[in-house]
Amino acid sequence: MKITAINTFFSRETHRNLIFIEVLTDAGISGIGEAYSVGPDDAVPAVAKQFESWLLGKDPRNIEECWQTMYNFSRFPGGLIMMSVLSGIDIALWDIAGKAAGVPVWALLGGKCRNRIRTYGEVYGNTPEEAAGYAAKIVERYGFTAVKCFPLFGSPDIPLFNRRVRAAEEKMRAVREALGPDVDIAADAHAALASPFEAVELATVLAPYRPLFLEEPLRPENRDALAEVRRKITVPIATGEMLYSKWEFRELLSREAADIVQPDICIAGGITEMKKIAALSESFNVPVAPHNPMGPVATAANVHLCAAIANFFILEYLPDDTPERRDIVDEPVPFRDGWLEIPDKPGLGIELRKEGLRESMKGGWSRPFRYHPDGTPSYI
């Protein structure tokens, strides 16, 4: 079996493109993967075609060889565009390998460690009342046992730190009161804080509401600063969506800067590298909660990975019941009462419906936006 072509497809969601990569073979077996929408999305097809020229004629089942070719043939490996394309192709190769062997991807990864995948939903709203109402709605509708809110979004007087922190506490309190003591609530600072002391203050006021974790209290470039915050707070720190490859996660883990890591399968290096990042994290006793804001193919890839790693914690999940998500695949991964089921079909168990793709957004998402109570964004 040999690789004969690599194609890229876009579909527009509310505020970003979903980017799918298809790998074709001379055996009539094709695989589908998903790349991260990093902003300058127009560069993705060009990089995919460059990688195609390196992979033509290779056996797609030699996934490690293909991964190393894409990574090491690049003059300066890494970077968001290169890693997102590499990740999408890697996912597609695993899809092909599973289909060729007649088994689901999780079986190729060593088998299942669990029979279903716990998820959390995202809570939107600019005021405490909006966030609490939204949280209650999605828990009732989808059966989530955990949610994540964005306590700094929509807060007034952004330069006034004390008022901003008070607003964040009010939002967290409202969500906790709406959901009761048993639903887990994570908080995402979205890397919006500039210094460790601000992150410590935010964690301190959120701590009484028992956050599942505080995500990205700081940007990830300075691991030592993040480690300083972790030493001073009791709330678990989660981070990693902006990191690529096992090498960047090694720096994070060796500095003991995170309690939970959140690699994204669409940019960290695909299934191949995510399995290695999970094993590395396991050696530090750190669980994995994959970042997963992209499309239904990414969700399927994550489900197979999460089924097969021992230190899985929880998976971010955007329900696939909206038309822009449901219409682009033949059948999304089944989701019931806050849990995703693990497919038994060969490969990823999901196929792209090209006729359901929507016109893409030129350039990708690059403008800031704010969320309304119904979860829809408006650009500012």
Instruction: Show which residues are catalytic.
Output: 190, 291
C-alpha neighbours within 13 Å on the C-beta side of residue 257: 25
One-letter amino acid at 9 equals F
CB 87 within 8 A of CB 268: yes
How far apart CA 27 and CA 19 sit, in angstroms, is: 25
Rg (CA), the chain: 20
